[in-house]
Amino acid sequence: MTTAAIIGGGVIGGGWAARFLLNGWDVRVFDPDPEADAKLAPVLAQARRALPSLTDVALPPEGALTFHSDMAEAVSGVDWIQESVPERLEIKHKVLASVQAHCPPDAIIGSSTSGFKPSELQEGAARPGQIMVCHPFNPVYLMPLIEVVPSPETDLALVEKAEGILRGLGHFPLRVRKEIDAHIADRFLEAVWREALWLVKDGVATTEEIDEAIRMGFGIRWAQMGLFDTYRTAGGEAGMRHFMAQFGPALKWPWTKLMDVPEFTDELVDLIAGQSDAQSGHMSISQMLAARDDNLVGMMRALKANNWGAGAVMNAHEATLRAGTVLGAYADDLEDVSAPILTVRRAVPLDWTDYNGHMNEARYLQAFGDATDRFMAMIGCDADYIATGGSYFTAETHIRHVDEALAGAIIEVRTQVLAGAGKKLHLFHEMFEGDRLLATGEHFLLRVSLETRRPSEPSPAIVAALERIASSHADLPAPEGAGRAVGQRP
């Protein structure tokens, strides 16, 4: 078990705590606020609702969460310390000095600062090489990007260790090659923010109209392709060179006021705040946060299906969650195959539920289809094998819906082989939440040549793996519901 200390339990610190905690780390939160636990509770509730929906394999069991008002108690013996205190350098220096006085010398100290350079944080530090910037994006428990910024003084071996840990949490660590104020992403955001302030002040657009321009236009493109790839495609077959030749001269036009900021007068603040209230005041902040998380989960899962951008990061995280478990094993890796085999263990995602609030019919089929795919891969019919021209096609399916499954429930599917010889594969899946049976799925499959689209014999290796499991499962009692037709009485 690994342990993280979170210094500062606000929105960002709370997001870090949730990301570590839900990935199985023990978490110690240092915050002198006596209400720190109550303030962190809503963030944890949001994370528990949303983060498990990103992955198609269950996250590990949560670690232990404790709250501390003594710095020595919070950081002694920990592996990672994440500082998320207010953006005032004198406060950060005081906190980091206290951290280093009590933490292990080989612990990672990351700062969530959005603006300060690591060399500024290291001024006067006992061990400057231990400190680096690890700048997250809100909500930390969902957004993959972490800007990792070392200074020339930072121990690069510690930086590489930090990046490995971040990947293990499902993050995407982006190494910033040269320290600079506000790092990379926030410099873009500040430029957009400056221009938005002028557009509102000059009466060109309202806050709502600016948000619509982003979310109905380039925001969707940027979410999956970024800035330069978007402009490269805008150049057509000639690519970026054509785009720059066509639109480069526009950079000399006075389109923006990036180096000029309107004065934050009371009138401007009232104007922007009033428009913002009119835009989204019909929703509470908690409702907006839930909608935000639902939208992020949906978009990121779409990217995940295409193994693209943030979705590729999620797929890599899933691979680490499966590694070393039966969910990532082949049949030959399993010493005992005498019981039904675990083929799915995951949370029910937010988008799998219907108007009744429980998992809809199509998702039961998807879960059982995933179980069949996992079993196929287990016996050797994986992506590499299928690429050679052979696979199993489902010929018949029967699903019984026994009980409800709600969003966030951890479901397990266990698979029994009723028959497995030659070209035929007969599987029976049982879906559980804990000890509660939710559904059963019976699948009959045929091994098919992808070239002729007709039944054909599987490879000897698949035959051997399948027959080993089938012979072991032959001694199991016939599962309840096997062979039933729709509406048939027991």
Mean pLDDT of 411-428: 96
> Count of H helices and E strands in the chain?
16, 13
pLDDT in tens, 17-36: 999 999 999 999 999 999 99
Q: What is the average pLDDT value for the chain, to the nearest integer? A: 93
pTM over 0.85: yes
Q: How confident is the model at residue 329 (pLDDT cuts 50, 70, 90)?
A: very high
pLDDT 10s digits, 271-313:
988 998 898 889 888 888 888 899 999 999 999 999 998 999 9
Exposure on the CB side of residue 259, measured as CA atoms within 13 A? 1
**Closest by Cα among 232, 259, 258, 260 to 247:** 232
Using the structure block, give the residue that is written with the tokens 């009980």: 403
In the chain, pLDDT over 90 holds for what percent of residues? 80
- Which domains are seen in the chain, by residue range? 3-175 (3.40.50.720), 185-282 (1.10.1040.10), 324-473 (3.10.129.10)
HEC profile for 270-307?
A: HHHHHHHHHHHCCCCHHHHHHHHHHHHHHHHHHHHHCC
pLDDT of 358-390, one tens digit each?
999 999 999 999 999 999 999 999 999 999 999
